[in-house]
Structure formats: C-alpha cells, structure tokens
Amino acid sequence: MAEVESTAGATTSGEAADRNDRLLLEYLSSNDAPCPLCGYNVRGLTRPVCPECRHRLRLTVGVSDVSLKWFLAAIVPGMFSGIAAMFVAIPIIVSPLSGNGSAPGFIVATDTFGFLSGGFALFMMARRKRIVSMPARSQMWLAGIVWMIHVLAFLALLGVAFGFY
Ligand SMILES: [Zn+2]
C-alpha cells in the first residue's frame, strides 16, 4: 500500500513537472526571454533546455520591481567601517603592550564607532528580507541616515585629528 502511494505521488509530481514544462514552452513560443545563465534568447524553444549553454530551464516565480540599491547603499559604510576598525584595533591593543602608552582617546572612540557601525551593518544583513520589502522611500531614508552619520563621524574625526577643537 505504501509503495502504491509513493508511486502515485511520484507520478503526480512528474505530471506537474511535465505541465510546467509545457507552460514554459507555451510562454516562450510568443515571448522573448534571456537564459538566466548565459543570456541567450530562448524564445521559441521546443525543449526546456537552453540551446546555447545546455542547461535545463524551468518555470519559476519572480518578483518585479525589487531593488537592492538602497539596501546596499545602507550597508556599505558599515562594512567599510567595521573592516577598518579591525585594522585600527591592532595598534590600539599592541601599543600599550609594547610600552608605547595607550592610544589617544579619540582613536579609541573612532574604533568603537567603527565596530558599532560594522555590527549594525551585519544586523541589517540579517534583516535584509525585511529591509528590502520596506517601501523604497523608507529604504532611501535608512541609507541616507546611515551615510549622514558616517560623514559626520568622519568630519568629527578629521576635526580632532587636525586640532580644530
Ligand atoms: Zn543558456
């Protein structure tokens, strides 16, 4: 009995796959579409296989109008700051150990900011599905605020480094 059921299940999914192939070929009979792998125009195929790169094609659901640009813009400053903070941390740790005294406070503060910023970028990466599905305007604000904070922090660092205050 169990064997019959599993065979029936396999037949059903096989039929579904055949049906999907037919729907795919029907769509391609009247629409231009690039192969997702090699970009070859697969319009008018008679088999669900790309004639150029020989990869099997299947029917799938895509989402229109999704853009990653604001999300990427929002995480770039934090990624850069986090990586830079790791390198800056080396002299901060080594200097007191080698008897050269502690690093200046503003360097330590900058490095702490870098780590927090990198941590926030990782947090946004973990939440990327939620962020990307937010309205574009909200994503734009998020990216804008992240950049503003980093530009202000950089200007503050320059100000301290050159002794403006
Ligand atoms: Zn191809």
97 and 89 in contact (C-beta within 8 Å)? no
Output the CA 30–ligand 1 centroid distance in Å: 18
- pLDDT tens per residue across span 9-59: 445 677 888 899 999 999 999 999 999 999 999 999 999 999 999 999 999
CA of 67 to the centre of ligand 1 (A): 24
For residues 146 and 74, the answer to whether their CB atoms sit within 8 Å is: yes
- Please check the confidence at residue 64 and state whether its pLDDT lies above 80: no
pLDDT for res 5:
45
* C-alpha of residue 64 to centroid of ligand 1, in Å: 22
Q: Exposure pattern of 112-151 as b/e (b: 16+ CB <10 Å)?
A: ebbbebbebbeebeeeeeebeeeeeeebeebbeebeebbe
Distance CA 54, CA 44 (A): 15
Q: For residue 32, report the distance from its CA to the centre of ligand 1, in Å.
A: 14
User: In the prediction, which pLDDT does 1 show?
Assistant: 43
Condensed to tens digits (0 to 9), the pLDDT of residues 94-125 reads 988 888 888 888 889 999 999 999 999 999 99
Ligand 1 centroid vs 40 CA: distance in angstroms? Answer: 6
> Residue 31 Cα, ligand 1 centroid: separation in angstroms?
16
Q: How far is the CA of 57 from the centre of ligand 1 (A)?
A: 8
Please tell me the distance between residue 51's alpha carbon and the centre of ligand 1 in angstroms: 7
Distance 138 CA to ligand 1 centre (A): 37
Lowest mean pLDDT among 3-7, 79-83, 94-98, 101-105: 3-7
**Ligand 1 centre and the CA of 63: distance in Å?**
21
Residue 48 Cα to ligand 1 midpoint, Å, equals 11
